[in-house]
Chain A
Amino acid sequence: MTLALKDVNTYYDKSHILQDVSFSIQEKEVVGLLGRNGVGKSTTLKSISGVVTPRSGSILYKGKELRGLKPHQVTKLGIGYVPEERRIFPNLTVQQNLLIGVQSRRARAQEEEAWTLERAYDLFPQLKARQSSKGGNLSGGEQQMLTIVRTLMGNPDLLLLDEPTEGLAPMLVEVVTGVIREIHGSGISILLVEQNFEVILELTSRTYVMSKGRVVFEGTSAQLADNHEVRKQYLEV
């Protein structure tokens, strides 16, 4: 088991956002996390990555407790987090954006498959073409690519992706889906938060559905596809 959350409770000031959330991800698995807006999906990712600290519960990653760690410590353990808002650095060039993500120590540890600028540019030729333009001048799709690749530069073993296809044109959604599949193919586990059900079905083997801060469904993606009740109650608008 790579990542296991057990009874995680997270608060913003006084509002109780995550209520006893528990789930787990196996090695090299792609797991989907679904639910309507504001049910706590993003907060779950933030709790794992250390951006917010859960008040109770435990988050074990390869046997290590993550709760209470700072984001950079979590990153150094091998968890890459791509937040929902793209948050590229508009005043830096594409290349400089990528450089910030580099974790030289992790790169050395996994020398064979380490992500380098060259490998990133091979995967995304359009980023190479724009390597010296300012991040602020990229299109939405390019920015989304950049954020994902930037996180890959840290050589994560587990990737937390928060709605990577949000606001992208259908053609770009396909590109992003392809990219995620490719990342998975290179042996990285992925926790994918998505609204786009098609994408989920295509990419994930298992899914969890959240509602009002709790996990209300777990099963294989195929099971979810068949379970109309859950889909109706928790997912469809």
Chain B
Amino acid sequence: MRTTMKKILWAVCATAVLGMFLPAAVPAADEIVFGVIEPLSGPFKDVGDRYVNGAKFAIEQINAEGGLLGKKVVAAVEDDALKPAIAARKAKKLILKKKTKFIMTGTGSHITLSLAKVAKKYKVINLTYGTEAAKITGSAFTPYTFRCCLNTDQHSAAIVEYMVRKYPQYKKYYIICQDYAFGREAAEGFKKKFKEIAPKGARIVGEIFHPIATKDFAPYVSAIMASGAEVVLSGNWGTDLRLLIKHGASLGWKVRLGNYFLNDPLVLQEVGKDSIGHVAADAYMITIDTPENKAFLAKWATKYKDAPLAYRYPTLSTGRAYYAVRFMAEAIRKAGTTDVQKVIKAWEGMEFQAAWGKVRMRACDHQMITPGVASEVLPTSEYFDFPYVGKPMIIPAEAITTPPAETGNPRCK
């Protein structure tokens, strides 16, 4: 038994070693490769899956419309397990083996920051359609990095704008965020905007940072309830969002929660009616009421009608990834070449028509300037059989844009 097992193990190892030296496919000359790097294993797989599907769908559409610069666009997808070192390794592989000049991710600011180092070294474009840390386009800026999603300042501002405009009667705000870089930045964003536009007499009555993956929110909820808060602002995601809402509702809190990620069906499916009346904001939502968006949803349905819940509709990240890739493709088209320096030049300051309105790539920090959308969770939805966000309020770009001088980017003075 023991020796047989040893022999089998030995054979497996030997096969493995041989397998490693199999040649990798080299792309054809008439292809443009977009390298998509996302977590496709581990607990964040569903997040990664969505981005990949959004990006892939954009690439299919581009090809269906005749390709890019007369070439076919190909998606090369790699799993980074949400680890910067692995993301960097995969990016190098894509760049050196598949000759890609465009790498992208939407999950984890640390991944984008790590990829920025690789992109700078090998001089390729590093696109993010989902990582929000301000310093990506701020203090850690490199000319190769472009961001086609909201940053934390914009995202927080959109939520505060919605609350203040729609519910000027609320006077007591409370901030609860996860105790790490993203949570802290989200809170900063809330406070900055609140200070700017707070109704008379309104104030922030409390601010709390809890550890990531907190199991019991009851102590926090009780503290919030004791403060008499009417609005709770939060950047929480994942279980920290679901449990905050569930434990809040079970203890009978009477607050309106404004959050970054509430338009995620995976969250709303679980928390169900406890989420009604809470507010989400983003750059894109499927409930946007424009003909362009209707057309986009119809096209999406042709491919993903029976897909898993996470990307059956282009909710949350999928829609963003789609438009980001389209935007980049337009920049490449405008440059007329895949030469990276020329694409950078062409993209800077460029405008693009997205489903929710006009967006622009700010030249100095490569941050997409866009209107925001914010909406409340309604009891019923035409898309899902659980409560989901309704038609959004469009918040103009000027209301949520960080002035260049405040970005911390040396190029923006």
Q: Do chains A and B touch in the complex (CB under 8 A)?
A: no
Chain A contacts to B: CB under 8 angstroms: none
Chain B contacts to A: CB under 8 angstroms: none
